[in-house]
Amino acid sequence: MSVKTRVLVVDDSALVRNLLKEIINHQHDMECIGTANDALAAREMIRDLNPDVITLDVEMPHMDGIDFLGRLMRLRPMPVLMISTLTEHGADVTLKALELGAVDFVAKPRLGIENGLLELAQQIVEKIRIAAHAQVKRLPSLTLESVKRLRALNGASSERPLQTTQPLRLPSPLLSDKLICIGASTGGTEAVREVLAYMPADAPPIVIVQHMPAGFTASFAARLNELSTVSVTEAMHGEPLLPGHAYIAPGGKHFAVVRRVGRYMASIFDGDTVNRHKPSVDVLFRSVASSAGPNAIGIMLTGMGSDGASAMREMKAAGSYNYAQDQATCVVFGMPREAIAHGAVDSVLPLSQIGPAVLARLRKSIAPSMLLDEPPY
């Protein structure tokens, strides 16, 4: 007999607590072992019941979910699934929760909460299953607050990008041809941030699919933009993809790269889900294989499932060089594992080594005479 995943539900709404309890207890492989209406009650139940996974509301009395999560991850790290409201403020707070170590989140509707949560039941239980097997740890990367403190200590403006890497100084024709593409899912918000932290202001265009619903990707791009030297925005249909910029696929839309009049451009469109996702890494990577071929560098980061694996193999066949995050540093070693199994990956590296490896590869592609003024890498 298999052991069930034991879930503690923490939410200030009695209706939400009862709905989540019902959804969880209808599954053969999990059970709700308790519910708490605030962080204080949750703290006692965690100590007494030792749950495998916690679902945590953001807004609660006495202590909000973010403060509670921060304390929990410092004292007793465990898998946490955030239950967030689909608002701009909710998106910002959710991204803070992911930064603190939450595995994932579910965006609950503001209106029609009962029917809305029941419609999300399958998504909720799938994310609980993923959380139960996730590697819970805080990523060794700078937080927004620590970056601002460092800037203040150095006398730098908090509005000015923090240059952390030497510029590439790629010649213009070569720079316009290179393209970096990234796919990520569960655990990916912090992994993407760490890769971008290494990218200098003259990096080739970077295109990114992070599995995330509509309403959250604009906040995600804005938060990355505050922490990156490159300019990070949500991708817009028809815009040219420029050096020194990173583009996030809008939630609920597909993102493809097309080449027109000798330059890369963004194509944003609706359509069916691909590999169960929209945006889909498969869609982006397949377009990159066609439009960039050997000028592309592919990066597969932490995430559940197989989205992007077959398309990354197409990229490799077209001549790209591809990286995958290793199992030890993934929150969920699903998408990288599938890409490796498809024979799509040239190099498997810890997260902290992917950014430097990409830069080293780009520098090697530059003629030595163009690097006379570069410091040795």
* Torsion angles phi and psi, residue 72, rounded to 5: -60, -45
Catalytically annotated residue among 11, 38, 307, 326: 307
Distance CA 113, CA 64 (A): 20
**Rg of the chain over all Cα atoms, to the nearest angstrom:** 21
Distance between CA atoms of residues 55 and 8, nearest Å? 6
| 191 sits in which H/E element | helix 188-197
Whose CA is closest to 230, among 206, 209, 208, 194?
A: 206
- What are the DSSP E strand ranges found in the chain? 5-10, 30-36, 53-57, 80-85, 104-108, 179-184, 206-210, 231-234, 245-248, 254-260, 263-269, 296-300, 321-325, 347-349
- As a whole number of angstroms, the distance between CA 167 and CA 139 comes to 25
Which residue among 84, 185, 228, 291 is the active-site one? 185
Q: What is the DSSP string of 295-345?
A: GEEEEE-SBSS-TTHHHHHHHHHTT-EEEEE-GGG-SSBSHHHHHHHTT--
Kindly name the residue from 11, 177, 211, 228 that is annotated as catalytic. Answer: 211
List, in sequence order, every residue forming a beta bridge with 34; answer none if it has no partner.
Answer: 8
For residue 185, indicate whether it is catalytic.
yes
Length of the chain equals: 377
- For 234-244, b/e burial (b = at least 16 CB within 10 A) is bbeeeeebebb
User: So which residues are the catalytic ones?
Assistant: 185, 211, 307
